[in-house]
Structure 1
Amino acid sequence: MKKPVLVTGASGKLGAYVVRRLAGAGRPVVAWSGSQAGKVAGVALCPVDLSDSTRVKLAFAAADPLGVIHCAALSAVGDCHRDPSQARSINAEATALLGELADRIVYTSTDLVFDGEQAPYSESDAPAPLSEYGRSKVGGEQALAGHNSAAVVRVSLLYGPSLFGQTGFFDQQMEALRQKRELRLFSDEWRTPLALDEAADGLVRVLDDGYEGLLHMAGPERMSREDMGRRLAVFLGLEPALVESARQSDIKFPEPRPTDVSLDCSKARQILGWAPETYESGLARMVQDPSEK
């Protein structure tokens, strides 16, 4: 009997897409969630508190996985700022423990490990996080530095409809536009947005390829949040003027926010043959009938 792939954060936005990608290929999957019950793509969720090392060890032994795709994170920047200890526990310490247990692990990190001053960023650029979230994710990266079969994949801003649980920012933004409510989005914050399904495909490729070390995965286009919103409005057949311009620099946040954390993912294209499509292509694939995605 084939060993399963263990996916952490399976009830989250990215984790759910990874579970669907694996299950859709007929592969056995063990899907860990934080506390949520239910199913994702027909796979039952197994609630595991990553801050409970004893529970993690027992659940890992029961799963006996071929490898781990570690998507679980405390990813809300505000939550990490308010509770840095919890951020380190989930994003760094739990990652270190999974690295000790797993023969093969793929860890999802973030473009927010950078300060936004020298984009686009390649794998050779040194992290310089501005937020507690970014620092805790760097802690997770460092925890796997000595692992003999670990890949750290930094992903950019992800977009697409949620498959499970609470709606995310993309879902809320799409719903607001469909109701013709105005949105205010930053014109001075740039990312390289990546479709959730393409991110999931990339992570599975990394696991199967056996790649070790750092890798960036991002979309092919550098866009501001305002541009993303306006292009979404046009895609939905609505007026782009529904999206108004706002400036990040005019707002005082509890922590600094990087202005441009665009990622260079040429290495992933060269090594894996992984080539994400344009923003509009991703929207066409995922938004028209999200119930089937």
Structure 2
Amino acid sequence: MICDASTTNPAAPRPAAMPIAQHEQSTLLITGLSGYVGQGLARHPALARFGRVVGTYFQHPVSLPGHATCRLDLTDAQAVDALWEAVQPTVVIHTAANFAQPASLTASIVAGTQHVVAAAAKHGARLVHLSSDVIFDGEHPPYAEDASPDPITPYAQAKAQAETLVRTSGLADWVMVRTSLVTGLAPVDPRTQWVWDSVRARRPITLFTDEYRCPVWVEDLAAALLELTQLDFRGVLNVAGPQRLSRYAFGVKLCAFAGLDPAAITAAVVANSGLVRPRDCTLDIRLAQRVLRTRLRSVDEGLLSAHNR
């Protein structure tokens, strides 16, 4: 475990005070700070309302102005416990997964979550655990919070195991956030960049017309996760966008926004691809819309807002 303190930029604007006073006394730990969601959390102005913030990474060092970052191998139980002893977090947002090393992906999700849960239980921290809509088989949408996981891919199986670890841990204070495709434009998320780069370079790109998701803007997801660190809510919560889109329709919208010709994208169906993928992971987000003050925007709303900037 290697921790580095970052320096605060005194010229940086401070966000308006949030109405939840507990932030000032809270120590927040974020796992997976170098990931796309982790970086979304790092950029969010609400982060400044916490008394102390520590972010962890594994392979890609990142900074967190005004706070500390630590290199941490979540599969190492002793390292995780040592970090908790040193930081004493009151709340944890657990987003980490090692996508850079496919052979280690399952261990980073399952063992990593097991160690995070054990440490959170030992120290009495609230856990906000990030899960995924792909834990479902995609044949019985829309999925509400009480839907049972039925994973059909190795990644989904690992995420479902992680959910079970959280549920059965005996941890007193937890919330499990199931989300969908995380998208953003500043910076551009990796999937969108792949679509744009492929179309610009005229590389073959195929997207499915019958694979449905509910893309969520990274700013909205980050805001929701930070809000949930302080809300008196426990259990599962679906946090995704309100707009159900096929991967093909989503790709077409992204190309139109960037002024690219979507005709370069080949439309296909999952059944003819030979791939094992859940077809429709639409999440029912009505509970989140009631519980959260964070507004979950559609893809169209986010693109329109970006276009008008």
TM-score if structure 2 supplies the norm length? 0.81
Alignment-derived partner of residue 70 in structure 1: 94
Whole-Å Cα distance in 2 between the matches of residues 17 and 275 of structure 1? 16
Deviation at 1:155, TM superposition (A): 0.6
Structure 1 counterpart of 2:216, one-letter code: L
Alignment-derived partner of residue 148 in structure 1: 172
Gaps of at least 5 residues in structure 2 are 1-23
- Find the residue that maps to 2:230 and give its secondary structure: helix
- Find the residue that maps to 1:275 and give its secondary structure: coil
CA distance 1:229–1:154, shift in 2 (3 Å):
same
Which residue of 117, 127, 135 maps to 1:96?
117
Alignment-derived partner of residue 14 in structure 1: 37
Deviation at 1:160, TM superposition (A): 1.5
Q: Which runs of 4+ in 1 moved over 4 A?
A: 40-44, 82-87, 161-164, 178-182, 284-289
Deviation at 1:124, TM superposition (A): 1.4
Q: Is the 8 A contact 1:36 1:45 kept in 2?
A: no
Deviations 1:208-250 (A, max 9, x none): 1131101001101111111001011111123232322122222
Whole-Å Cα distance in 1 between the matches of residues 74 and 193 of structure 2? 27
Alignment-derived partner of residue 223 in structure 2: 201
Which residue of 179, 190, 205 maps to 2:212?
190
Alignment-derived partner of residue 297 in structure 2: 277
Whole-Å Cα distance in 2 between the matches of residues 85 and 32 of structure 1? 17
Alignment-derived partner of residue 171 in structure 1: 193
- Find the residue that maps to 1:208 and give its secondary structure: coil
Whole-Å Cα distance in 2 between the matches of residues 50 and 139 of structure 1? 16
Gaps of at least 5 residues in structure 1 are none
Whole-Å Cα distance in 1 between the matches of residues 270 and 119 of structure 2? 36
CA distance 1:153–1:116, shift in 2 (3 Å):
same
Deviation at 1:198, TM superposition (A): 0.6
What count of residue pairs does the alignment treat as equivalent? 282
- Find the residue that maps to 2:228 and give its secondary structure: helix
Deviations 1:92-137 (A, max 9, x none): 4234334324521100000011111111100011111112222221
Whole-Å Cα distance in 2 between the matches of residues 288 and 29 of structure 1? 33
Q: Is the 8 A contact 1:195 1:282 kept in 2?
A: yes
CA distance 1:159–1:6, shift in 2 (3 Å):
same
Residue 37 (structure 1) aligned with residue 37 (structure 2): no
Whole-Å Cα distance in 1 between the matches of residues 242 and 304 of structure 2? 16
Whole-Å Cα distance in 1 between the matches of residues 97 and 307 of structure 2? 25
Structure 1 counterpart of 2:34, one-letter code: S
Whole-Å Cα distance in 2 between the matches of residues 62 and 287 of structure 1? 45
Deviations 1:44-67 (A, max 9, x none): 531100011111111122112120
Larger Rg, first or second structure (1 or 2): 2
Alignment-derived partner of residue 160 in structure 1: 184
